[in-house]
Chain A
Amino acid sequence: MSASSAFNDEKGGSSSVGEPEYGHDPASGGIFSSDYKRHDDLKEMLDSNKDSLKLEAMKRIVAMIARGKNASDLFPAVVKNVACKNIEVKKLVYVYLVRYAEEQQDLALLSISTFQRGLKDPNQLIRASALRVLSSIRVTIIVPIMMLAIKEAASDMSPYVRKTAAHAIPKLYSLDPEQKDQLIEVIEKLLADKTTLVAGSVVMAFEEVCPERIDLIHKNYRKLCNLLIDVEEWGQVVIINMLTRYARTQFLNPNINESLLEEGSGGDKTFYGSDEDEDEDEEEKEKNAEAPAMAKRKPYVMDPDHRLLLRNTKPLLQSRNAAVVMAVAQLYFHLAPKAEVGVIAKALVRLLRSHSEVQYVVLQNVATMTIKRRGMFEPYLKSFYIRSTDPTQIKVLKLEVLTNLANETNISTILREFQTYIKSMDKDFVAATIQAIGRCATNIGEVRDTCLNGLVQLLSNRDELVVAESVVVIKKLLQMQPEKHSDIIKHMAKLTDNIQVPMARASILWLIGEYCEHVPKIAPDVLRKMAKSFTNEEDIVKLQIINLAAKLYLTNSKQTKLLTQYVLNLAKYDQNYDIRDRARFIRQLIVPTEKSGALSKYAKKLFLALKPAPVLESPFKDRDHFQLGSLSHLLNAKAGGYQELPDWPEAAPDPSVRNVEVKDSVPEWTKCSSREKRKEKKVEKPFYSDSEGESGPTESADSESDSASGSESGSGSEESGSGSESVESEEGSESEEEEEDEEEKNKKKKKKELKKPVQESESEQSSEEEERKPERKSKQRKSDSESESDEEESESESSQSESEDSESEAEIKKKKKAAESKPPTKPVKKENKKEKKEMSLLDLDDFEPAPSPQVTPVNTFLSNSLVTDLEGLSLSDTVLSPATIAPSSALKNYELLHRITGEGLSVEYCFSRQPFSPDANMVAVQMQFTNNATSDTKNLHMEDVKLQSGMRVKEFPEIELLPAGETAAAVMGIDFCDSTQAANFQLCTHTKKFFVSIQPPVGELMRPIFLTENEFKKEQGQLMGMNEITEKLTLDAKCRNEHAIVQRVTTAANLSRVPCGSDKECRFAGRTVTSSSLVLVTVATKEEGAAQLTVNCEKMLIGTMLVKDILLALTQ
C-alpha cells in the first residue's frame, strides 16, 4: 500500500507499475518488478483453459483500468477471450474492449464478428449487450455495421434491446455525424414506440442528434405526455425538458392577457417583453382587420394539449428524484398560467432538505424564480433562514432568496434575521449580508433609514471586511438621496477619528468630498484634520484626501485654499508616485495660472459631475431567459449543446398536427390501480407491421373501450396536417370546453378521431359498401336509447361517403364505437327484454344477465358439461353457426389482430362468460377469425405464449384451413391469475407469425354466483375495512331505473344479481375465476340520480379496478 501510493499520483500513469492495492498480485514485490514479467503472467492466465484463471486475470486488468493505469499492451491476449463462455469473463472483456478499442482499431476488428453473432442471440440480454459494446467501440470503420445493427435492433421484439438501440444512436452520431439522416429515421421509428422503457432513451437520442426536428414530436406528443408517469426517472427528466421546449413552440402564452393588462406593473412583465406583445397585437390585427380592438383582449383559451402536459407532469412533483422535481418545476415556471405556478413552490422547498449540492442548484433556480414570481415563495420565507452549519455558498444563495422575497410586510422579520447573520463567524457571509441589507434598503423605501443606521453602526466593527462592505453599501445608499442624509454624512465624518480601516476612511472622505455642499461646515474641518495626519495615512486614503481637497477648493476656495495647497505640497513629495502624479495633475487642473490650459475651465464639471447612483440588483435578474434547471442557467452562460428556450409563438401553430397520434392509455395499475393500464401490452404491435404506412399503427379494439384513454387508430397520419375543415371547426368548439373534464375530453377526442379517416379518404366509393353502411348504422341507431344520437348522426353521415379502402377501418371504428356505446345502448335493450321474460317465467330474483341463450347460467358449475357439449358442437363446425356468435354480439368484441396488420387475417375476441370446461380456473375467450385475404390461410395456431408468473393458457385447437373470405371461431382458456396482466402469444399461420396479446377487463375475471340476501349480508360483513371501497356517483340520466343499472353493472362485470328487499338497492355477487375470492357489489340509489357504489372484495386490486369500471358504466 505504502509503496504504491507514490505511484498513484502519477496522473494518467502510462504503463506504470504495480497494482499492489488490488489484491494478490504475485509480482507486486515492488518498484523493480518489470512490466514485462507481470503482464506475461497475466497473459499466461488469459491463455489458460481455466475460466477461473481467466477471470482472475481479467479482474486484475479491469482493476488496473479502474485505477487509470495503462493496460493496452494486453489487448491481443484479452481480445481472444471475447467469445469466452463464462459470462463474467465476457463482460470484463467487453469492458476492456470498450476502453481500448479506439487505440487499437485493427485488433478490435477481430472481435466484431462475435458481436454480430451476439446480435442474433435468442437471449435479449446478450443481444442488448452485444449492441452496447458494438456501438461503444469507437472505430470508424465499423460505422456501417453499427448502422445496420441499430436499425435491426430498433425493430427488435424486446423493448430492452430497442432501448439499447436508442442509446446507441448518439454514440454512432458522435462517431460519424454524416449518418444523421439515417439516424433520424431510426429515431422517428423509435419515437413511435409505446413502451415506457424506450421513451426516455429515444428522447435523449433525439435531444443529442436532432433537437431541431421538433416536428418529429407532434405525433408522439400525447403519447409521451401520457406515458410520462411510468417512464423511469431519468427519462422523465429528459422528456419533460424537451416537452417544455416543444410547448413553447406550439402553444400560446397562457399569461398573454395578463401581461397585456399588467402594462407597467413592473417586474412580472419583463419576461414577456413589450415588443413581443406588440408583435402579438399586430399579428392579430392582420387577422381580424375589422376588429382590431377586439383582438387585443381576445380571451385566451388553453390548448387541451397544453393542459394535458401540465396535468400529467404535476404528480411528478412528488418524485423522490430531485432532478424530476426540478424538471417539472421549470416546466410549470415556463409554461403554466401564472395562477398555477404556485404549486411548485412547496416541492422546491422540500428539496432544500436534500444534499447540499441539490440545495445549491435548487436555490439558484429559486433565486431566479423569486425575481419574477415573488408571491410564490413568500409563504415559505422561513425555510430560507440560514443555519450556521450551512456551507457558505448555500448561505449566500439563501440570502439572495431572502432579499428577493423582502417586501414592505416582511422586511422587519427579514432584517431581524439579518442582524443575527451579521454576527456570524463566516466573514464572506457577513459581507454578503451587508450587501443584502443594502439591496433591501434600495428596494424598500420604508426601511432605508433603518438599514442605513444599522449599517452606520457596523462601521465600528472590528472586522475590516465588514467595515469596508458597510461603507461601500452606505456609499451606494447615500448616493440615492444624499440631500436627506447630511446627518449621516456628518456622523461618518465624525467616524474618521476612530475608524482605522483605510478602505473605510477612504470611502468616508470620498463621501464628504462628493457631498460637501450638504456639510459645508464640517468638510473643511475634516480636511484640516486629514491634512494634519496626511503623512501617516495609507495610500488610498491619501488619494481621497487629495480628491477631497480638490473638490473643496472648487466649491469653497475661500476657506480651503491654503489647506489644499498644503496638502498638495505634502503630496508632491510623497514616496508613492501615484500620489505625486495625482497632486501634480490636480494642481494644474484646479489652480488657475497663466499657463493653465482650457481644461481648468471645466474642472468643476470634471470633479463635481453628478455621479449616477449605482444600481443594486440581483445577479439573478434576467437569468430566466435560460431554461431553468439547465446547466446554462446555473452558469449564466450558454453551455455547449444548449437549446434556446423559444419565445411563445404569436399565433398558435395548427394543433391538429398532434391529432393523428394515438392517445394511448396512461398508466400502469402499479401506480394508479385503474384499469387503464391494461393496454400497455399492446404497444409492441407496430413493430411487426412495417408495411402499414398510411394506415398507421392499429390499436386493438379493446383499448378503445377504455374511456379514460381516448384512442384512435392512427390512420392517415401523413395527411393529418391538412385536416379538413370540419375537423377544424369541431376543434374550435372543442377547445373552448375542453379544459374541464378529462373524460369528456377523451370521449370527444375519440369522436373526432373516428371521423378523421372518413373524411380523408373520400375517393372511390363502393356503392355496395355505401348501402350496407347506413343500413347497419341505422339499425344500430334504432336500438340506441337515443343517448348519443346526435353524435352518431354526424358520424353516420360522414360514413356514407366512405371509400372501400377505409371500410374495414371504419368497421372497426364502428365496432369500437359500438363497444363504447353499447353498455348503455343496444345490449341494454336486448337484455332488458330477456330479463323481463325470465322474471315473468321463472320469477327468479337473481336474473342472470349472462348473454348466452344456450346456457342457463345461474350456477355455472352445474352447467359445465352442457357448455362443453355446445362448444364441441360449435368448434367442429368450421362454418360458424350463427348461434354461437350471436350471444357474443351482446358482449364487447375486442380486436386481436387487425386486418391490415394481419395481412388479410383479422381476429376478434370476446369474453364469452361461459365456464371454460377443460379448466374451471380459466376465463373462456371466444375468438373469431376472418380471412379477408385472397388466399387461404392454413394451420392457424398459437405459439410462444408469454405470461406473467402463475398465468396459464389453454390453446385453441389448430384451425387447419381457413379459406379466403371465410370465418371461423375457436375458444381458448386463459387463467389470468386474477390479474389484468396481458397474455401475450404469437398467432401463427403457415406463413406468418403475429404477436398479439389479450388483456381482460377486470369484470371478466369473475364468474357469477348465487347468494341469498342473508348470505350476501353476512359475506359483506366479513369484507369490511380495507376490503370495502365506496364511491359516490351521479347516475347517468339514462340509467336511473333499476333495470338500466342492472344492465350496466352486469355488462361491465360478469356478476349475478342478488335478490334484495329494497328497490333502492341492487346487489351483485361473483367470485374471481382463479382464486374464488368473493366479489360483492352494491348500488344504492338515492334521489335525483345520486347513488352510492360499494364493492367488497378480498382482492383489493380487483376491487379498486372494478369500482372504476362500474363507475364508468353507470355514469356514462
Chain B
Amino acid sequence: MIHSLFLINHSGDIFLEKHWKSVISRSVCDYFFEAREKAVDPENVPPVLQTPHHYLISIYRGKLFFLSVIQTEVAPLFVIEFLHRVADTIQDYFGECSEGIIKDNIVTVYELLEEMLDNGFPLATESNVLKEMIRPPTILRSVVNTLTGSSNVGDTLPTGQLSNVPWRRAGVKYTNNEAYFDVIEEIDAILDKSGTTVFAEIQGVIEACVRLTGMPDLTLSFMNPRLLDDVSFHPCVRFKRWESERVLSFIPPDGNFTLMNYHVSSQNLVAIPVYVKQSISFFETGPCGRLDITIGPKQTMGKTVENMMVTIHMPKAVLNANLTATQGTYTYDLTTKVLVWDIGKLNPQKLPNLRGSLSTQVGVPKPEDNPSLNIDLKIQQLAISGLKVSRLDMYGEKYKPFKGVKYLTKAGKFQVKMLCTAHFSTNWRSEYI
C-alpha cells in the first residue's frame, strides 16, 4: 500500500519523510517536481503520476504537498483520502496544518504517522484513538513533562480500538457538559449574465462540538428532514435509524467532528440571496474599458448579508483599474489580474457600487476572454435551505447538557458569468438553438 510519504513545501523542499517499508530515496520526488514545473498552478499537478518504478499520489493542502509513493496496485482514492486524513489529523492536533507547525512538532508528527499506518495500511486514523496514544501538545503538559519526565505517549491500548465505538475515547469527563451543532450551508450557483440561475444547489454540513461526560447517546431530529436529498455520515451515525425515522442517532466522538454532509437538491428552488448588476466593456479604440458593478440583496429571509466580497479574474490584457467604490475597498493585483472588492455588510438602503475605468494594453486588441465574478458572503443565523433542527435528546447519561445550534449560510462556488463580448454566442444561439 502506501510505501513512503514526503512532505514538500511550496518552494519544493522536502521537509519530512517517512517510510513504512524499506527506504525509498527521495530522488523519486524529482518526477513530481518535473510535473510541478509543467503545471503552472500547484492545483494543476496531476494527483497520480507514474514513474518507471513507482506511482506517486499527491495532494495539495495548505500550500503543502503530501506526496506518497506507491509500488503496487491500490485504489487511488484510498491513498488520497488517507493523505487528507493525515492533514486533518495534523490540523486537529496543532490547530493548523502548515510547514512551520509541522517543523515545530516534527517528532509528534512522526509518531503520529507511525501510528496511523502499519506497513502502509491504515491502523489508527480516528482522532479520538490517536489522542489517547499520543497526546496532543498543550502548554501545561509540555511544562509538566519537562519537569517530571513523563511522556506524551499512552501505555495502554485505547479502549476505542477494541470497542464498538472506536471513535470515542473512554472515561470522558467534563464539568460543563455541552453539545454544539453548527449547520453550515453553502450555495453553489452559476448565474448567467442576466442574473438567471443556470445551476444552483445547496451543500450543507453539520459540524459538531460535543463535550459530554460518559457515553451519551444523542438523537438529533429535524423539522423538515425531507429537504435532505443526499447525505453522508460520520461512522457514528446509525444509518438504519436514519433510513427508517429520519433522525440522526449516534454516540458522538469526543470533541470536534463533522456529523454529516448533506445536499439539498437543485429541484427545490434555491434562494439566491443577492443579485448582481454588472457590465464590463472595452472600447474598440483606445486603451481603456469600463466596469460597473452593483450588488443588492435578493432573498435573504430578513437577515443581513455580511462579509460580502467580490473577486473578478480580469482578462490578461487589463493593465490597471481605476475605480471608485461607494462602500468597502478594492484591490487589483497586477500580476495575477485579480480584482478583489471587499464590501462588508450589505446595506439594503444604499446599494454598494463599484465603477470606473480599466486601462488595457496599447496595441492589443480588446480582450475576448470571459471574466467571471465570484461572490463570497455570509448570512448568520440562517440556513438558506430552510433546514431546522427540531430537538436534540440525550440518552444513557443522567446530567442535563447545554445544547446549542447555530446556522450559517455561506456562498460556496458562487459564480456570476460576465460576458463582455457576445458576438459569437449570440450568433450561434439565434441561428440554431
Report the number of A-B residue pairs with Cβ-Cβ less than 8 Å: 331
Q: Are B199 and A322 in contact (CB under 8 A)?
A: no
Q: Are A326 and B75 in contact (CB under 8 A)?
A: yes
Q: Which residue of A lies closest to B30 (CB)?
A: A11
Contacts of B261 in A (CB 8 A): 320, 350, 353
Q: Are B415 and A387 in contact (CB under 8 A)?
A: yes
Contacts of A1026 in B (CB 8 A): 219, 221, 391, 393
Q: Are A642 and B73 in contact (CB under 8 A)?
A: yes
Q: Are B76 and A388 in contact (CB under 8 A)?
A: no
Q: Which residue of A lies closest to B157 (CB)?
A: A125
CA distance A559 to B203 in the complex (A): 68
Q: Are A171 and B232 in contact (CB under 8 A)?
A: no
CA distance A1014 to B157 in the complex (A): 52
Least distance between B405 CB and chain A CB atoms (Å): 16
Interface pick from A231-239, A573-581, A688-696, A731-739: A231-239
Q: Are B1 and A641 in contact (CB under 8 A)?
A: no
Q: Which residue of A lies closest to B120 (CB)?
A: A170
Q: Are A52 and B156 in contact (CB under 8 A)?
A: no
Interface pick from A419-427, A720-728, A875-883: A419-427
Give residues 226-262 of B contacting A (CB, 8 Å): 229-236, 238-241, 243, 249, 251, 258, 261
**Contacts A67-B106, A382-B199, A423-B419 known; A319 to B25 CB distance under 8 Å?**
no
SS of A interface (majority): helix
Interface pick from A38-46, A84-92, A932-940, A1045-1053: A84-92
B363 in contact (CB, < 8 A): no
Q: Are A356 and B43 in contact (CB under 8 A)?
A: yes
Q: Are B76 and A361 in contact (CB under 8 A)?
A: yes
Q: Are A634 and B433 in contact (CB under 8 A)?
A: no
Q: Which residue of A lies closest to B41 (CB)?
A: A391
Least distance between B375 CB and chain A CB atoms (Å): 12
Interface pick from B159-167, B174-182, B281-289, B348-356: B159-167
User: Could you mark each residue 293-324 of chain A with 1 if its beta carbon is under 8 Å from any beta carbon of chain B, else 0?
Assistant: 00000000000000000000001001111110
B125 in contact (CB, < 8 A): yes
CA distance A671 to B153 in the complex (A): 31
Q: Are B75 and A631 in contact (CB under 8 A)?
A: yes
Give the residue of A68, A88, A318, A1099 whose beta carbon is less than 8 angstroms from that of B152: A88
Q: Are B231 and A318 in contact (CB under 8 A)?
A: yes
User: Could you mark each residue 99-124 of chain B with 1 if its beta carbon is under 8 Å from any beta carbon of chain A, else 0?
Assistant: 00001001101110010001101110
A212 in contact (CB, < 8 A): no
CA distance A195 to B27 in the complex (A): 41
Give the residue of A67, A424, A1099 whose beta carbon is less than 8 angstroms from that of B16: A67
User: Could you mark each residue 383-395 of chain B with 1 if its beta carbon is under 8 Å from any beta carbon of chain A, else 0?
Assistant: 0000000010101
CA distance A468 to B157 in the complex (A): 64
CA distance A450 to B370 in the complex (A): 22
Give the residue of A99, A349, A393 whose beta carbon is less than 8 angstroms from that of B23: A99
CA distance A52 to B151 in the complex (A): 9
Q: Are B153 and A639 in contact (CB under 8 A)?
A: no
Least distance between A1073 CB and chain B CB atoms (Å): 16
Most buried by B among A347, A425, A454: A425
Q: Are A323 and B81 in contact (CB under 8 A)?
A: yes
A670 in contact (CB, < 8 A): yes
Least distance between A234 CB and chain B CB atoms (Å): 4
Q: Are A671 and B239 in contact (CB under 8 A)?
A: yes
Give the residue of A21, A95, A234, A641 whose beta carbon is less than 8 angstroms from that of B111: A95
Q: Which residue of B lies closest to A978 (CB)?
A: B396
Q: Are B240 and A412 in contact (CB under 8 A)?
A: no
Q: Are A91 and B118 in contact (CB under 8 A)?
A: no
User: Could you mark each residue 118-138 of chain B with 1 if its beta carbon is under 8 Å from any beta carbon of chain A, else 0?
Assistant: 110111010000000000000
Least distance between A809 CB and chain B CB atoms (Å): 31
A102 in contact (CB, < 8 A): yes
Q: Are A138 and B149 in contact (CB under 8 A)?
A: no
Contacts of B61 in A (CB 8 A): 355
CA distance A356 to B77 in the complex (A): 11
Q: Are B46 and A1101 in contact (CB under 8 A)?
A: no
User: Could you mark each residue 13-24 of chain A with 1 if its beta carbon is under 8 Å from any beta carbon of chain B, else 0?
Assistant: 000000001100
Contacts of B365 in A (CB 8 A): 462
Interface pick from B271-279, B293-301, B324-332, B422-430: B422-430
Contacts of B157 in A (CB 8 A): 123-125, 128, 158, 160
Least distance between A503 CB and chain B CB atoms (Å): 19
Most buried by A among B238, B365, B419: B238
Q: Are B50 and A355 in contact (CB under 8 A)?
A: no
A673 in contact (CB, < 8 A): yes
How many of chain A's residues have a CB under 8 angstroms from any CB in B? 133
**Contacts A91-B111, A672-B240 known; A320 to B233 CB distance under 8 Å?**
yes
Contacts of A170 in B (CB 8 A): 119
Q: Are A674 and B122 in contact (CB under 8 A)?
A: no
Q: Which residue of B lies closest to A50 (CB)?
A: B149
Contacts of B203 in A (CB 8 A): 353
CA distance A424 to B43 in the complex (A): 18
CA distance A318 to B107 in the complex (A): 36
CA distance A457 to B73 in the complex (A): 46
Contacts of A37 in B (CB 8 A): none
**Contacts A318-B231, A419-B424 known; A12 to B372 CB distance under 8 Å?**
no
Q: Are A635 and B18 in contact (CB under 8 A)?
A: no
Q: Which residue of A lies closest to B414 (CB)?
A: A387
B374 in contact (CB, < 8 A): yes
**Contacts A326-B77, A1026-B391 known; A320 to B151 CB distance under 8 Å?**
no
**Contacts A237-B75, A670-B251 known; A167 to B123 CB distance under 8 Å?**
yes
Q: Are A450 and B432 in contact (CB under 8 A)?
A: yes
B14 in contact (CB, < 8 A): yes
B34 in contact (CB, < 8 A): no
Q: Are B232 and A1100 in contact (CB under 8 A)?
A: no
Q: Are A67 and B17 in contact (CB under 8 A)?
A: yes
A59 in contact (CB, < 8 A): yes
Contacts of B424 in A (CB 8 A): 419, 422-423, 454, 457-458
Give the residue of B118, B125, B161, B236 whose beta carbon is less than 8 angstroms from that of A167: B118
Contacts of A74 in B (CB 8 A): none
A327 in contact (CB, < 8 A): yes
Give the residue of B43, B76, B199 whose beta carbon is less than 8 angstroms from that of A385: B199
B139 in contact (CB, < 8 A): no
Q: Which residue of B lies closest to A132 (CB)?
A: B118
Contacts of B73 in A (CB 8 A): 630-632, 639-643
CA distance A415 to B433 in the complex (A): 9
Q: Are A355 and B80 in contact (CB under 8 A)?
A: yes
Q: Are B74 and A631 in contact (CB under 8 A)?
A: yes
Q: Are B16 and A322 in contact (CB under 8 A)?
A: no
Contacts of B188 in A (CB 8 A): 353
Contacts of B428 in A (CB 8 A): 415, 419, 450, 453-454, 457
Contacts of A667 in B (CB 8 A): 240
A729 in contact (CB, < 8 A): no
Q: Are B14 and A360 in contact (CB under 8 A)?
A: no
Least distance between B234 CB and chain A CB atoms (Å): 6
Least distance between A57 CB and chain B CB atoms (Å): 12
Contacts of B396 in A (CB 8 A): 1099, 1101
CA distance A105 to B300 in the complex (A): 70
Give the residue of B27, B72, B110 whose beta carbon is less than 8 angstroms from that of A65: B110
**Contacts A66-B16, A234-B121, A450-B432 known; A635 to B48 CB distance under 8 Å?**
yes
Give the residue of A425, A643, A949 whose beta carbon is less than 8 angstroms from that of B313: A425
Q: Are A234 and B125 in contact (CB under 8 A)?
A: yes
Q: Are B162 and A457 in contact (CB under 8 A)?
A: no
Q: Which residue of A lies closest to B192 (CB)?
A: A420
Give the residue of A50, A318, A642 whose beta carbon is less than 8 angstroms from that of B232: A318
A357 in contact (CB, < 8 A): yes
Give the residue of A327, A631, A677 whose beta carbon is less than 8 angstroms from that of B48: A631
Q: Which residue of B lies closest to A449 (CB)?
A: B432
- Can you give 15 contacting A-B residue pairs, CB < 8 Å? A11-B25, A22-B103, A62-B107, A67-B106, A88-B151, A158-B162, A171-B21, A320-B235, A323-B75, A350-B230, A356-B60, A385-B198, A424-B369, A635-B55, A637-B50
4 extra interface residue pairs, beta carbon distance < 8 Å, beyond A453-B432, A642-B72, A1026-B393 = A357-B80, A635-B55, A640-B73, A949-B171
